[in-house]
Amino acid sequence: MRGVMVVVGILVTWRVTHLVVAEDGPWNIVARLRGAAGAGFWGQLMDCFYCASLWVAFPVAGWIGEEWGARLLLWPALSGGAILLERLVPDRQAGAPTTNGG
């Protein structure tokens, strides 16, 4: 396994998790799925970045890891990397520049 694949795995995990938890998606598909999930298990999963990143990281770790031991270590590592990246990215709503120059 190459280090670049770990970085790619973290980016993939962050991107998909961010889409599921914080974005509406194309044609509002993800927002509709989130609404249909309601307040049950799936709805709570789609509202929690930490929870969702674990489930998104699972198949990514399976894809990147070359053996079972590596996959088991990659699973929480990819989730943790995505969480760190999420904490580094500022909230776009709070600090978004305005288009009217103000």
Domain encompassing residue 30: 3-88
Length of the chain: 102
Q: Is 79 domain-assigned?
A: yes
- The Cα-based distances of 64 to 5, 23, 30, 48 in angstroms read 7, 26, 26, 24
pLDDT computed for residue 102 by the predictor: 39
Q: Is 76 domain-assigned?
A: yes
Give how many domains the chain has, as a whole number.
Answer: 1
Q: Where are the alpha helices (DSSP H) in the chain?
A: 3-22, 29-37, 41-47, 49-64, 68-88, 92-95
Q: Is 99 domain-assigned?
A: no
User: pLDDT of the chain along its 102 residues, tens only?
Assistant: 588 999 999 999 999 999 999 888 889 888 898 888 888 888 888 889 999 999 999 999 999 999 999 999 999 999 999 999 999 987 765 444 444 443
